Amino acid sequence: MNIRQIFFKNTLRNFCYLIVFDDGTIYCIDPFNHTEVLEYTQAQDVVISAIVNTHDHCDHYSGNAALVETFKCPVYAHMKASIPGKTKNLVDGDVLYENAGWELSAVDTPGHTMSHMCLLLKFNGVPHSLFTGDCFFNAGVGNCHNGGNPESLFDTISTIFSKYPDELLIYPGHDYLKRNLEFTLSIEKHNARAKEFLDKISTLDLNEIFFINNMQTERKINMFLRLDEKEIKENLNLEHSNNKDIFLRLRELRNKW
């Protein structure tokens, strides 16, 4: 199994992922544009087996039509997602692929929109990688401006993401790492790991180099997973508030950041 990350260099900094299984099956997650995907498939002389859209914002499915035209492949998405040409409805727990120890399944993750799926890849029953769409980013979480609900996003992050193992690799739908680290350090000023990470990426070409964090790293740099931290609570003047209120305040502040 191999995961191919495609970065589109668009202003929204979208990622698409190709999960290439050893038997030749290829799942294409969130194709913003078909050109870059076809460059890969033509160079490798391979065929896309299915497209999966994490949610129904057009920067996650605008490459669908040309890829379907080329590969005659099905399009999977949340049962409530409104995506032109969708052929298969997904509900929580649906298994899309299962072979040679690998399993790809859908995880219902409302919040960014109310019809958002993450895709969980397991090997021999152990969570290996999570394709998070716009639910969860490196050092941040998605906004809830277009059909979402921040309280639902809190429930998703606190109930689902909190249980994932440290080793789980995160493949987000956009690269917002730098902005999110800057946001972290605007509130949690003494977060040494976030400072170290921001210093490191500040010297790099962020249109060429990307980081695949695991949950262990995210638990150190992502404030939305660090709601019990004293410094965060103090700087928000929410020392006596519950985790949900802290999450909602962070989301609100990030909206204006």
Binding-residue pattern over the window 54 to 73 for Fe ion, x denoting contact by CB under 5 A: ---x----------------
Q: What is the dihedral of CA 53, 108, 129, 1, to 10 degrees?
A: -50
CA 161 to chain CA centroid, nearest Å: 12
Min separation Cβ 3 and Fe ion, Å: 21
Locate 208 and state its tokens: 């060429």
* Least CB distance to Fe ion at residue 235 (A): 28
Separation between Cα atoms, residue 33 and residue 249, nearest integer Å: 34
DSSP 143-208: --TTT--HHHHHHHHHHTGGGS-TT-EEEESB--HHHHHHHHHHHSTT-HHHHHHHHHHTTS-TTT
The CB-of-150 to Fe ion minimum distance in angstroms stands at 14
Q: Which residue, 134 or 188, is less far from Fe ion as judged by CB?
A: 134
Question: How many residues form the binding site for Fe ion (CB under 5 A)?
Answer: 2
Smallest separation, CB 117 to Fe ion (Å): 12
* CA gap 133, 36 in Å, rounded: 18
Min dist CB 83 to Fe ion, Å, is 12
* Cβ distance to Fe ion smaller for residue 71 or 148: 148
Distance CA 127, CA 1 (A): 14
Stretch that binds Fe ion, among 41-49, 53-61, 67-75, 243-251 (CB under 5 A): 53-61
Of 122 and 172, CB closest to Fe ion: 172
Instruction: Using the minimum distance from each CB to Fe ion, give the nearer residue, 172 or 233.
Output: 172
Say which residue the tokens 């040409």 belong to: 85
Report the 10 Å Cβ neighbour count for 164. 18
C-alpha–C-alpha distance, residues 76 and 138, integer Å: 25
Tell whether residue 220 is a contact of Fe ion (CB under 5 A). Answer: no
Q: Which is nearer to Fe ion, 57 or 78 (CB)?
A: 57
- Identify any residues that bridge with 103 across adjacent strands, giving them in sequence order: 98, 122
Site string for Fe ion, 138-177 (x = CB under 5 A): ----------------------------------------
62 to 121, contacts with Fe ion by CB under 5 A? none
Gyration radius of the chain over CA positions: 18
CB of 130 to Fe ion, least distance (A): 16
The mark string for 123-142 relative to Fe ion (x by CB under 5 A, - otherwise) is -----------x--------
Which of 76, 90, 72, 71 lies closest to 30 in space, CA to CA?
A: 76
C-beta closer to Fe ion: residue 57 or 251: 57
Query: Which residues in this chain contact Fe ion in the complex, by CB under 5 A?
Result: 57, 134
